[in-house]
Structure 1
C-alpha cells in the first residue's frame, strides 16, 4: 500500500476516533509503533490538529476542529470556488472570514501556474459590488451561531430611542446593501422585528432552548401584507430603470411600449418609511398618486431640506 493511501486511512481513523493510542493505530493497520509515530508527525505537518499526551495513560487527541478527508477538485471546480469567494469580497465582515481566507490560501497554493493566472484574472475582471461599509459588526458570527443552535439572547441594542436591552430569538442573518440584518422574535413585543447586526453593542446572556422555531428561510417564505395600502406610482423611463434595481420593486413594475411605466400594487403600510427615501431620490422620475401618506412624507422631507438652505446667499 502506498504511503499516501496509508496516511489517508490513518487520517480517517484518527478523525473518527478523536482519542487513541499509538498501539491502537499499530494494531488497526498492522504497522510498528515507530512507523505510527512517524505517520502522526506527517499528519501533524499536513495540518491535523493533534495533541500528544505523554505517560502511562497517554496517547493522541484530535483537537476540536474536525478535518475532512482529502477531496479531489478539478481545476475548473477550484476556479468556480474562487468565483464564489469573489462575491464576498466587498463585505467588511463575514461570519467565517478567517476560515474563508484560509480555505482560499490552501486552494490557491494547490493550483498549477496556469490555473493561478486564471484565478488572478477573475479577481481583476469581475466583481460583485456592494457599498463597502466602514461599520464593524463584531457579533455577526455570534448571532448566526445562536440562530443555528436555537438560543435566546439578551442583547444591548442601539436604536434611535437610545440603548435598550432586548430579549430575542434570532432567526438568521442576511446581507443587503453592504449591511447585515437580523430578523428575530422579540419576546417583549411578541413579534418578529428586524435588527441591524452592527447596532448590537453587547450580548448580555445566552440561553439554549430546544423548542422548534422558524428559521430565516421560513421567515422569507411567510411574508404577507398584514396592513395593506395601495401604492400607485407613475414612472419615467429613467424611473423604471432605477426601480428595477430595487429588489422589492422589481416584480411590481409594469413597463409601457415607450419605456415608461408604473407601479400599481398593494404593499404593507410598514414599508412606507423604507420606500420614502427611495422615491425621494427618484425626484421627478416618479410621481406618487397613492398613498397620501407617502406623498406627505416626501413633502415633509423636501420642506426640511428647503428650510435648511432657504437663507443661503446666492453665490
Structure 2
C-alpha cells in the first residue's frame, strides 16, 4: 500500500461519498490511476462500493476497515504486551480484537520482531484474576450506554434471580470484575456483569441518563455516616493497593460510607483479618462480628 492509497482511505473516512474524478483532481493523477488504487484497496478488504447515476460515487460501509497501524518496533512490543494483559480479562468489550491482532497483525510483522515478541512472552505474565462474564454482556452494556438505551437482563443476586430493566451509565473494571452502574427508576444501582445473563437492548432511550465519568465525579447524595478504621503497619501497606481504603494516613482511614454500602464494606474489611480494627460506627463493628461468627460456626 502506497502513501496515496493511505491518504485515500483517510479521505474516504472524512466524507460520506466521493467520485473518482474528485480524487484524481485532489491527488493530481489520472482517473485511471485512482481506479487502480480503489481496486487495490478493495482487494485488501477495504469495504467500499459504487453508486451509479448522476449523483453517484463511492461510499464506505459503516463497519469499515480503518487505516493500518504504523508502529515502531518499540510500540509494537508494547501493543502485544497489552494484549497479553487483556488475555486475563476474557470479558473485555470488543475482545475479538485480540485474536485479530494476534493472527493478522502479528503475521505481518518481520520475522525478527515476531521472534522477539515470542521470547518476551516467556518472561512476563499477569496474575490478574479474570472474571467470567461473556464478552457479549460487557460489549452490549457499553453499546447501550453510549446510545443511552435501556437494557433488560436476568440478574443473580443473593436473594435469587430477578428480571431487571435499567439504563446503564457504563462499566468499570475493579479487582477482577466488571461493574455496571445503572439507573432504575430514580436510583442508580450497581450490578456485576458476571451475574447478568440474557441481556437484551431495548428500544426506549433517555437522554437524561448521565455518562459514567460524570456519575463518578458527582458527590454521593445517599445517606450515610462516618467510618473510622485503624490499620496495623502491614494493613496500611495492604490498603495502599485497595481502591476503597488507599487514602489511609497514619494507620487511620476516615470516610463517609452510605448505609446501603455498609454490608459490602464489612465483607471487604473481613479480608484484612487482624490487620484492621473498626473504631466507629458501632453498626459496622457488629456487621463484622456477625460475619466472623458465621465463618467460625462452619468449623465448630
TM category (shorter chain) comes to 0.7 to 0.9
Q: Deviations over 1:171-224 (max 9, x none)?
A: 10111122111101112xx11110112222223451253624311111111143
Are the counterparts in 1 of residues 91 and 131 from structure 2 also a CA contact under 8 Å?
no
Comparing 18-27 and 75-84, the one that deviates more: 18-27
Are the counterparts in 2 of residues 147 and 169 from structure 1 also a CA contact under 8 Å?
yes
Are the counterparts in 2 of residues 75 and 111 from structure 1 also a CA contact under 8 Å?
no
- Correspondence 1:112-261 to 2 at 5 A: 112-136=110-134, 138-187=136-185, 190-209=186-205, 211-224=207-220, 226-251=222-247, 253-255=248-250, 261=251
Comparing 11-20 and 94-103, the one that deviates more: 11-20
Are the counterparts in 2 of residues 225 and 267 from structure 1 also a CA contact under 8 Å?
no
1:267 & 1:247 partners in 2: Cα distance? 14
Aligned residues: 299
Alpha-carbon offset, residue 114 of structure 1? 4.1
1:282 & 1:185 partners in 2: Cα distance? 32
Q: Deviations over 1:74-127 (max 9, x none)?
A: 222233333333332211211111124324544433433443344334433344
Are the counterparts in 2 of residues 11 and 69 from structure 1 also a CA contact under 8 Å?
yes
Task: Pick from 233, 243, 253 the counterpart of residue 263 of structure 1.
Answer: 253
Name the SS of the counterpart of 2:225 in structure 1.
strand
The TM-score, its normalising length taken from structure 2, stands at: 0.82
Alpha-carbon offset, residue 130 of structure 1? 1.7
The TM-score, its normalising length taken from structure 1, stands at: 0.78
1:149 & 1:142 partners in 2: Cα distance? 11
Task: Pick from 266, 278, 286 the counterpart of residue 288 of structure 1.
Answer: 278
Q: Which consecutive residues of structure 2, in runs of 5 or more, have no partner in the other structure?
A: none
Task: Pick from 32, 43, 46 the counterpart of residue 48 of structure 1.
Answer: 46
Larger Rg belongs to: 1
- Residue 306 of structure 1: aligned partner: 296
